[in-house]
Amino acid sequence: MKKDYHFVLPMKVRDYECDLQGIVNNSNYQHYMEHTRHEFLESLGVSFAELHQRGVDAVVARITINFKTPLKSGDHFLSCLSIYKDGIKWIFNHDIYRTSDEKIACKGEVTSVTIVDGKLSVYEDLDHILQEATAQK
């Protein structure tokens, strides 16, 4: 794990996240990524509830996930996040590593946009916060 990230969140696989094969069900990786994005934004002082009350919704427009090495119950892992701006979109690159051997479990890319008062739009306050956060790395 040599890449610089904007945010890293340690996590642990819970039993109920695994399927009959004893590995994390693919849908749970999306949950891990979403939780990481929310924790990242919270660390910057951004509240989804407050944004929504102002008529601003940050929403996912697209997700791709490439699965590499399965995680199993009890595995500790790092959910790593880097982001960049592309026009009106923010692209969140997620890498999830198993802590014990630093093997990559999956790589994801999440495209996010903002809906302001019901219309696709840039929300300047959020853009400013994210640009400051990404400039620090």
33-51 average pLDDT score: 93
* CATH code of 34's domain: 3.10.129.10
102-131 average pLDDT score: 94
Task: Supply the pLDDT for residue 2.
Answer: 60
3-state secondary structure of 48: helix
Global pTM reads 0.92
Q: Grade residue 134 by pLDDT with cuts at 50, 70 and 90.
A: confident
Residue 88 included in any domain: yes
Residue 2 included in any domain: no
**More confidently predicted of 135 and 86:** 86
Task: Supply the pLDDT for residue 137.
Answer: 57
Q: Grade residue 5 by pLDDT with cuts at 50, 70 and 90.
A: very high
Q: Which residues are part of the catalytic machinery?
A: 19
For 78-136, give the secondary structure using H, E and C. Answer: EEEEEEEEECCEEEEEEEEEECCCCCEEEEEEEEEEEEECCEECCCHHHHHHHHHHHHC
Task: Supply the pLDDT for residue 63.
Answer: 97
Tokens matching residue 30: 């999306």
Question: pLDDT averaged over the chain?
Answer: 94
Domains in the chain, number: 1
